[in-house]
Amino acid sequence: MTQTATLEPPVPASQVGRRQRRFGRKLRSEGRSAAWLVAPAVVLMATFVLIPIALTFALAFTNAKLVTPEPISFIGIDNFTRLFDSPVFWKSLRNTILFAVFVVPLQAGLALVLALLINVKVRGVNVFRTVYFLPVVTSMVVISLLWQFMYQPDGLINSVLRTVSGGVIQGTDWLGNPTTALAAILFMSIWQGVGFHMVIWLSGLQTIPGDLYEASSLDGASNWQNFRYVTWPGLRQTRTFILVTISIAAFSLFTQVQVMTQGGPLDATTTVVYQSVRAGYAQQQTGYASAISLVFFALVLTVSLIQRYLTRDKDAK
Protein backbone atom coordinates (compact mmCIF):
# COMPACT_ATOMS: atom_id res chain seq x y z
CA MET A 1 0.00 0.00 0.00
CA THR A 2 1.20 3.47 -0.76
CA GLN A 3 0.67 6.28 1.69
CA THR A 4 -0.34 9.51 0.10
CA ALA A 5 0.77 12.77 1.68
CA THR A 6 -1.99 15.09 2.75
CA LEU A 7 -1.50 18.83 2.49
CA GLU A 8 -2.72 21.04 5.35
CA PRO A 9 -5.11 23.73 4.29
CA PRO A 10 -3.59 27.20 4.15
CA VAL A 11 -4.08 29.46 7.18
CA PRO A 12 -6.41 32.31 6.39
CA ALA A 13 -4.79 35.73 6.14
CA SER A 14 -7.08 37.12 8.83
CA GLN A 15 -5.92 34.47 11.31
CA VAL A 16 -2.27 35.19 10.49
CA GLY A 17 -2.92 38.85 11.13
CA ARG A 18 -4.52 38.14 14.51
CA ARG A 19 -1.53 35.99 15.54
CA GLN A 20 0.90 38.74 14.56
CA ARG A 21 -1.09 41.35 16.49
CA ARG A 22 -1.20 39.13 19.60
CA PHE A 23 2.53 38.52 19.31
CA GLY A 24 3.16 42.25 18.96
CA ARG A 25 1.00 43.05 22.01
CA LYS A 26 2.86 40.39 23.99
CA LEU A 27 6.22 41.88 23.04
CA ARG A 28 5.08 45.38 23.99
CA SER A 29 3.74 44.11 27.31
CA GLU A 30 6.98 42.32 28.12
CA GLY A 31 8.93 45.41 27.09
CA ARG A 32 6.92 47.60 29.47
CA SER A 33 7.36 45.08 32.28
CA ALA A 34 11.11 44.98 31.68
CA ALA A 35 11.25 48.79 31.63
CA TRP A 36 9.44 49.01 34.98
CA LEU A 37 11.82 46.44 36.48
CA VAL A 38 14.92 48.26 35.24
CA ALA A 39 13.65 51.77 36.03
CA PRO A 40 14.57 51.82 39.78
CA ALA A 41 18.15 50.75 39.05
CA VAL A 42 18.44 53.31 36.25
CA VAL A 43 17.08 56.09 38.46
CA LEU A 44 19.43 55.21 41.31
CA MET A 45 22.44 55.00 39.00
CA ALA A 46 21.59 58.31 37.37
CA THR A 47 20.99 60.01 40.73
CA PHE A 48 24.03 58.75 42.60
CA VAL A 49 26.54 58.03 39.81
CA LEU A 50 25.92 59.68 36.44
CA ILE A 51 24.63 63.06 37.62
CA PRO A 52 27.38 63.52 40.28
CA ILE A 53 30.06 62.62 37.72
CA ALA A 54 28.65 65.13 35.24
CA LEU A 55 28.45 67.82 37.95
CA THR A 56 32.03 67.13 38.99
CA PHE A 57 33.28 67.63 35.45
CA ALA A 58 31.24 70.82 35.12
CA LEU A 59 32.04 72.39 38.51
CA ALA A 60 35.79 71.70 38.28
CA PHE A 61 36.09 74.59 35.81
CA THR A 62 34.05 77.07 37.87
CA ASN A 63 34.42 79.08 41.07
CA ALA A 64 31.44 77.31 42.66
CA LYS A 65 31.15 77.34 46.43
CA LEU A 66 28.86 75.39 48.71
CA VAL A 67 27.09 78.43 50.19
CA THR A 68 27.63 81.80 48.53
CA PRO A 69 25.49 84.67 47.20
CA GLU A 70 27.84 85.10 44.23
CA PRO A 71 26.81 83.51 40.92
CA ILE A 72 28.85 80.64 39.52
CA SER A 73 31.24 81.67 36.76
CA PHE A 74 33.56 79.80 34.44
CA ILE A 75 37.23 80.21 35.40
CA GLY A 76 38.88 77.66 33.08
CA ILE A 77 41.78 75.69 34.55
CA ASP A 78 42.42 78.05 37.47
CA ASN A 79 41.40 75.35 39.99
CA PHE A 80 43.87 72.90 38.51
CA THR A 81 46.64 75.52 38.43
CA ARG A 82 46.00 76.30 42.09
CA LEU A 83 45.93 72.60 42.89
CA PHE A 84 49.25 71.78 41.24
CA ASP A 85 50.87 74.79 42.94
CA SER A 86 49.70 73.64 46.37
CA PRO A 87 52.33 71.86 48.54
CA VAL A 88 49.51 70.26 50.55
CA PHE A 89 48.24 68.53 47.42
CA TRP A 90 51.63 67.07 46.59
CA LYS A 91 52.04 65.90 50.17
CA SER A 92 48.57 64.30 50.11
CA LEU A 93 49.38 62.66 46.77
CA ARG A 94 52.63 61.30 48.18
CA ASN A 95 50.83 59.95 51.26
CA THR A 96 48.17 58.31 49.09
CA ILE A 97 50.73 56.64 46.83
CA LEU A 98 52.85 55.49 49.79
CA PHE A 99 49.81 54.02 51.48
CA ALA A 100 48.80 52.15 48.31
CA VAL A 101 52.34 50.92 47.59
CA PHE A 102 52.58 49.26 50.99
CA VAL A 103 49.00 48.18 51.66
CA VAL A 104 48.41 46.41 48.32
CA PRO A 105 51.19 43.79 48.51
CA LEU A 106 51.08 43.40 52.30
CA GLN A 107 47.33 42.97 52.55
CA ALA A 108 47.10 40.72 49.49
CA GLY A 109 50.06 38.60 50.61
CA LEU A 110 48.87 38.19 54.20
CA ALA A 111 45.36 37.34 53.02
CA LEU A 112 46.77 34.68 50.69
CA VAL A 113 48.81 33.13 53.52
CA LEU A 114 45.74 32.98 55.77
CA ALA A 115 43.66 31.49 52.96
CA LEU A 116 46.25 28.76 52.40
CA LEU A 117 46.32 27.99 56.12
CA ILE A 118 42.56 27.58 56.47
CA ASN A 119 42.04 25.83 53.14
CA VAL A 120 42.16 22.48 54.89
CA LYS A 121 39.54 20.06 56.12
CA VAL A 122 40.15 19.90 59.85
CA ARG A 123 37.93 20.43 62.85
CA GLY A 124 37.62 24.00 64.05
CA VAL A 125 38.75 25.67 60.84
CA ASN A 126 35.45 27.55 60.55
CA VAL A 127 36.21 29.25 63.86
CA PHE A 128 39.39 30.74 62.42
CA ARG A 129 37.55 31.84 59.27
CA THR A 130 35.02 33.67 61.44
CA VAL A 131 37.68 35.30 63.61
CA TYR A 132 39.66 36.51 60.61
CA PHE A 133 36.55 37.89 58.92
CA LEU A 134 35.09 39.58 62.03
CA PRO A 135 36.88 42.95 61.55
CA VAL A 136 35.42 43.20 58.03
CA VAL A 137 31.80 43.26 59.25
CA THR A 138 32.64 45.82 61.93
CA SER A 139 32.19 49.48 61.07
CA MET A 140 35.38 51.24 60.03
CA VAL A 141 34.46 54.11 62.35
CA VAL A 142 34.30 51.74 65.31
CA ILE A 143 37.57 50.10 64.32
CA SER A 144 39.25 53.50 63.95
CA LEU A 145 38.05 54.67 67.37
CA LEU A 146 39.25 51.44 68.99
CA TRP A 147 42.71 51.70 67.45
CA GLN A 148 42.88 55.39 68.29
CA PHE A 149 42.65 54.50 71.97
CA MET A 150 45.22 51.73 71.49
CA TYR A 151 47.66 54.14 69.80
CA GLN A 152 47.57 56.71 72.61
CA PRO A 153 50.80 57.27 74.62
CA ASP A 154 49.27 55.40 77.57
CA GLY A 155 47.33 52.98 75.36
CA LEU A 156 47.46 49.24 74.99
CA ILE A 157 50.24 49.10 72.36
CA ASN A 158 52.74 51.12 74.39
CA SER A 159 51.81 49.18 77.54
CA VAL A 160 52.56 45.90 75.77
CA LEU A 161 55.85 47.25 74.42
CA ARG A 162 56.96 48.39 77.87
CA THR A 163 55.98 45.07 79.44
CA VAL A 164 57.67 42.91 76.81
CA SER A 165 60.87 44.99 76.72
CA GLY A 166 61.09 45.39 80.48
CA GLY A 167 60.74 49.15 80.27
CA VAL A 168 63.43 49.61 77.62
CA ILE A 169 60.92 50.57 74.89
CA GLN A 170 58.57 53.29 76.07
CA GLY A 171 56.72 53.66 72.79
CA THR A 172 55.57 56.93 71.25
CA ASP A 173 52.49 58.94 70.42
CA TRP A 174 51.81 56.92 67.28
CA LEU A 175 49.16 59.20 65.81
CA GLY A 176 50.72 62.44 67.08
CA ASN A 177 54.16 61.74 65.60
CA PRO A 178 54.51 62.77 61.91
CA THR A 179 56.98 59.92 61.39
CA THR A 180 54.70 57.13 62.62
CA ALA A 181 51.16 58.44 62.00
CA LEU A 182 50.76 57.14 58.42
CA ALA A 183 52.39 53.82 59.31
CA ALA A 184 49.98 53.40 62.22
CA ILE A 185 46.97 53.92 59.95
CA LEU A 186 48.54 51.57 57.40
CA PHE A 187 48.94 48.77 59.95
CA MET A 188 45.37 49.15 61.21
CA SER A 189 43.94 49.20 57.67
CA ILE A 190 45.76 45.99 56.72
CA TRP A 191 44.44 44.25 59.84
CA GLN A 192 40.89 45.40 59.16
CA GLY A 193 40.68 44.42 55.49
CA VAL A 194 42.73 41.24 55.34
CA GLY A 195 39.77 39.02 56.23
CA PHE A 196 37.71 40.07 53.23
CA HIS A 197 40.46 39.33 50.74
CA MET A 198 41.23 36.09 52.55
CA VAL A 199 37.71 34.93 51.68
CA ILE A 200 38.24 35.91 48.02
CA TRP A 201 41.54 34.01 47.89
CA LEU A 202 39.85 31.03 49.56
CA SER A 203 37.09 30.97 46.95
CA GLY A 204 39.75 30.98 44.23
CA LEU A 205 41.66 28.15 45.89
CA GLN A 206 38.56 25.99 46.05
CA THR A 207 38.02 26.31 42.29
CA ILE A 208 41.34 24.62 41.52
CA PRO A 209 40.70 20.92 40.67
CA GLY A 210 42.11 18.50 43.23
CA ASP A 211 43.26 16.21 40.41
CA LEU A 212 46.02 18.67 39.60
CA TYR A 213 47.44 18.36 43.11
CA GLU A 214 47.21 14.56 42.98
CA ALA A 215 49.05 14.44 39.69
CA SER A 216 51.66 16.84 40.98
CA SER A 217 52.17 14.74 44.12
CA LEU A 218 52.60 11.60 42.03
CA ASP A 219 55.36 13.40 40.14
CA GLY A 220 57.14 14.07 43.42
CA ALA A 221 56.49 17.82 43.58
CA SER A 222 57.20 19.66 46.82
CA ASN A 223 54.79 22.05 48.54
CA TRP A 224 56.54 25.03 46.98
CA GLN A 225 56.37 23.45 43.53
CA ASN A 226 52.67 22.72 44.03
CA PHE A 227 52.09 26.36 44.88
CA ARG A 228 54.25 27.69 42.03
CA TYR A 229 53.01 25.48 39.22
CA VAL A 230 49.46 24.60 40.32
CA THR A 231 48.09 27.07 42.88
CA TRP A 232 49.47 30.36 41.60
CA PRO A 233 48.51 29.85 37.93
CA GLY A 234 45.04 28.74 39.02
CA LEU A 235 44.55 32.03 40.87
CA ARG A 236 45.08 34.27 37.82
CA GLN A 237 41.60 35.76 37.72
CA THR A 238 41.34 35.92 41.51
CA ARG A 239 44.55 37.86 41.97
CA THR A 240 43.56 40.34 39.26
CA PHE A 241 40.31 41.07 41.09
CA ILE A 242 42.05 41.36 44.46
CA LEU A 243 44.79 43.69 43.22
CA VAL A 244 42.27 46.03 41.62
CA THR A 245 39.92 46.13 44.61
CA ILE A 246 42.71 46.65 47.16
CA SER A 247 44.24 49.41 45.04
CA ILE A 248 40.94 51.28 44.71
CA ALA A 249 40.29 50.97 48.45
CA ALA A 250 43.84 52.11 49.27
CA PHE A 251 43.64 55.18 47.05
CA SER A 252 40.23 56.00 48.58
CA LEU A 253 41.62 56.22 52.13
CA PHE A 254 39.41 58.63 54.08
CA THR A 255 37.49 57.25 57.07
CA GLN A 256 40.56 56.28 59.09
CA VAL A 257 42.12 59.69 58.53
CA GLN A 258 38.92 61.57 59.34
CA VAL A 259 38.37 59.70 62.61
CA MET A 260 41.94 59.24 63.86
CA THR A 261 44.08 62.21 62.76
CA GLN A 262 42.04 64.71 60.67
CA GLY A 263 44.97 64.81 58.27
CA GLY A 264 47.59 65.66 60.88
CA PRO A 265 50.03 65.98 62.35
CA LEU A 266 51.51 68.54 59.90
CA ASP A 267 49.54 66.95 57.01
CA ALA A 268 51.43 63.70 57.52
CA THR A 269 48.27 61.65 56.94
CA THR A 270 46.41 63.90 54.51
CA THR A 271 45.24 62.02 51.42
CA VAL A 272 43.76 63.14 48.11
CA VAL A 273 40.23 62.07 49.06
CA TYR A 274 40.48 63.69 52.48
CA GLN A 275 41.72 66.92 50.94
CA SER A 276 38.85 66.87 48.47
CA VAL A 277 36.21 66.39 51.18
CA ARG A 278 37.81 69.03 53.40
CA ALA A 279 37.93 71.54 50.55
CA GLY A 280 34.36 70.81 49.50
CA TYR A 281 32.64 70.80 52.89
CA ALA A 282 34.85 72.36 55.56
CA GLN A 283 36.15 75.12 53.28
CA GLN A 284 33.01 75.13 51.06
CA GLN A 285 35.08 75.36 47.84
CA THR A 286 33.02 73.08 45.63
CA GLY A 287 34.80 73.90 42.37
CA TYR A 288 38.23 73.32 43.85
CA ALA A 289 37.08 70.06 45.45
CA SER A 290 35.71 68.92 42.08
CA ALA A 291 39.11 69.55 40.49
CA ILE A 292 40.76 67.40 43.17
CA SER A 293 38.19 64.66 42.52
CA LEU A 294 38.95 64.70 38.79
CA VAL A 295 42.66 64.32 39.47
CA PHE A 296 41.88 61.44 41.83
CA PHE A 297 39.68 59.82 39.18
CA ALA A 298 42.48 60.05 36.61
CA LEU A 299 44.97 58.59 39.11
CA VAL A 300 42.80 55.59 40.01
CA LEU A 301 41.89 54.96 36.37
CA THR A 302 45.55 54.98 35.35
CA VAL A 303 46.57 52.59 38.11
CA SER A 304 43.68 50.23 37.32
CA LEU A 305 44.56 50.16 33.62
CA ILE A 306 48.22 49.47 34.39
CA GLN A 307 47.30 46.65 36.75
CA ARG A 308 44.90 45.23 34.21
CA TYR A 309 47.59 45.29 31.56
CA LEU A 310 50.23 43.67 33.78
CA THR A 311 47.88 40.92 34.97
CA ARG A 312 46.26 40.19 31.59
CA ASP A 313 46.08 36.69 30.20
CA LYS A 314 48.96 36.76 27.73
CA ASP A 315 47.83 33.49 26.15
CA ALA A 316 44.41 34.85 25.25
CA LYS A 317 43.96 36.03 21.68
Strand partners, 74: 62
Per-residue pLDDT of the chain (317 residues; tens, 9 = 90+): 455 555 555 655 566 566 677 766 777 777 788 888 888 888 999 898 889 889 888 999 998 888 777 788 888 899 999 999 999 999 999 999 999 999 999 999 999 999 988 887 777 777 877 888 888 888 899 999 999 999 998 889 999 988 888 888 888 889 999 999 999 999 999 999 998 999 999 989 888 888 888 888 888 888 888 888 888 888 888 888 898 889 888 998 999 999 999 988 889 999 999 999 999 888 889 999 999 999 998 988 888 888 778 777 655 54
**Residue 44 CB coordination number (10 Å):** 10
**Residue 117 CB coordination number (10 Å):** 12
Q: Rounded distance, CA 268 to CA 180, Å?
A: 9
What phi and psi values does residue 240 have, to the nearest 5 degrees?
Answer: -65, -45
Which domains are seen in the chain, by residue range? 86-310 (1.10.3720.10)
Angle between helices 236-251 and 87-118 (to 10 degrees): 140
Please give the C-alpha separations between residue 62 and each of 16, 75, 76, 289, in angstroms, as whole numbers: 62, 5, 7, 11
- The alpha-helical segments, DSSP class H, found in the chain are 13-45, 51-59, 78-84, 87-118, 125-133, 140-150, 156-165, 181-205, 210-218, 223-226, 232-234, 236-251, 255-260, 272-277, 286-310
Q: Which residues contact 250 (CB under 8 A, 6 or more apart)?
A: 96, 99, 100, 103, 104, 189
pLDDT recorded at residue 14: 61
Q: Rounded distance, CA 15 to CA 144, Å?
A: 72
Q: Rounded distance, CA 83 to CA 81, Å?
A: 5
Ramachandran class of 121: left when φ > 0, alpha when ψ lies in -120 to 50, beta otherwise:
beta
